[in-house]
Chains A and B, each alone.
Chain A
Amino acid sequence: MYAQMVKSTGDAVKSREEMSDDERHFQDKVDANIKVEPRDWMPDDYRKTLIRQIGQHAHSEIVGQLPEGNWITRAPTLERKAILLAKVQDEAGHGLYLYCAAETLGVTRDDLTEKLLSGRMKYSSIFNYPTLTWADMGAVGWLVDGAAIMNQVPLQRTSYGPYSRAMVRICKEESFHQRQGYAIMMKMAQGSAAQRKMAQDALNRMWYPSLMMFGPSDKDSVHSAQSMAWKIKINTNDELRQKFVNETVPQAEYLGLTIPDENLKFNEETGNYDFSQPDWDEFFEVLKGNGPCNTDRLNARRKAWDDGAWVREGLLAHAEKRAAAKVAAE
């Protein structure tokens, strides 16, 4: 998802007998749906896992601005441009809400940024794919934000208070993102033959990377089991992926577009669509840094960080100077 393959440390979920008093009390609280707040006692691994997960989620929001930002100056109308600009600005906001939530766990913003820029922290694989045509703005809103919503809606109930509150804010804003994307797809699917082709091409390229967003199957993963016990993960990757496919297929049908999967078929028995898995080798390559845009994305973030240094330092120096003058005057 926006946070993929987050590892919680430890080899197995502890039984109640193996837990310390603090741990047992903590787990009881989580089980009773009482939120954990920054200054409450929490297991070290809970803190570490959450920093990784929230940090990765925040990085995804920030890096996720790049593929869409790519089209702001080339939007086909002024209205589309204003919409896209507002959408990308929202993603900046999402990143900021999440960084603040991570900071309540004792990391600094600079530390998180530094880890992203040095490649020690990841962001979602999806943002390493290019956005080649305007139809990609439709497909990204519809599919990528659609997939993000699948994951973020349940996370509103996550056990960590600041994370949960950030998710509530984010979810309020996401629905606009998906709808504006679908609206672009509708326009193009109902347009000229060339526009329909462009829409189909965008769907073809974005479909499997969108399915990858949920991460590989984790039904047997110890990390997932621990995260689920802590309620920092609410559903398995497979559950969310299935739900996404079930919701998306009729939306594609309405557009008159074809999902690029010969095995896609409604299964009367399960009530779900059967579908093909994405190429997981490709996914791991992208995570390793070998996707089509990994280098571009990180370079863009590094350049923004470096180019902004004089602003950050200058404004701070100015603020300190004024504060000192104010103290002197008093």
Chain B
Amino acid sequence: MKKEWPLWEVFIRGQHGLNHRHVGSLHAPDAETAILNARDVYTRRNEGLSIWVVEARHISASAPGDKGPLFEPSESKVYRHPTFYDIPKDVGHM
């Protein structure tokens, strides 16, 4: 079996100043070609102003089984949200 082109993850920053967002992946022999391919595959309708590509093998991901220990602690911290606090109407907009 011949070797495949490596897999790249593609991130695109759209029109409105938001962060680069993961949109999908593709195969390419190197980073430059990956960017060109990403242009063709993921921005055919003005979806982007900037492209990042990173080879998939360089991404480290949290394990599905760690969901509890990682994210449960934030569930109980309602005081981190502005809606936790009752501010009287008289105070005006805050």
B1 at the interface (CB under 8 A from A): yes
Interface flag for A313 (CB, 8 Å): yes
- Please tell me which stretch of B2-10, B75-83, B85-93 contacts chain A, meaning at least 4 of its Cβ atoms lie within 8 angstroms of it: B2-10
Within 8 Å by CB of B24, from A97, A109, A315, A316, lies A97
Q: Which residues of chain A from 101 to 119 have a CB within 8 Å of any chain B CB?
A: 103, 108-110
Q: Measured between alpha carbons, how far is A108 from B4 in the docked complex, in Å?
A: 8
What is the 8 Å Cβ interface bit string for chain A, positions 219-258, against chain B (1 contact, 0 not)? 0000000000000000000000000000000000000000
Please name all residues of chain B whose beta carbon is closer than 8 Å to the beta carbon of A318 when the two chains form the complex. Answer: 29-30
A210 CA to B33 CA in the complex, in Å?
A: 38
Write the nearest CB–CB distance from B36 to chain A, whole angstroms.
11
Give residues 11-61 of B contacting A (CB, 8 Å): 24-27, 29-30, 33, 40-41, 44-45, 61
The answer to whether A90 has its CB under 8 Å from any CB of chain B is: yes
Per-residue CB proximity of A299-330 to B under 8 Å, as 1/0?
A: 00000000001001101101100110000000
A93–B64 touching, CB < 8 Å:
no
CA distance A86 to B44 in the complex (A): 9
Asked whether A109 lies within 8 Å of B27 as measured between CB atoms, the reply is: yes
* A-chain residues with CB within 8 Å of residue B25 when the two chains form the complex: 100, 103
Cβ–Cβ < 8 Å partners of B29 in chain A: 312, 315-316, 318-319
* Cβ-defined contact, B61 with A315, below 8 A: no
What residues of chain A have their CB less than 8 Å away from a CB belonging to chain B? Answer: 37, 39-41, 86, 89-90, 93, 96-97, 100, 103, 108-110, 165-166, 169, 173, 309, 312-313, 315-316, 318-319, 322-323
| Nearest 7 pairs of A and B residues by beta carbon | A319-B30, A315-B29, A319-B29, A100-B25, A316-B29, A40-B64, A39-B64
Known: A39-B61, A315-B33. 9 other contacts (CB 8 A): A37-B64, A93-B40, A100-B25, A100-B26, A103-B7, A173-B45, A312-B2, A315-B30, A318-B29
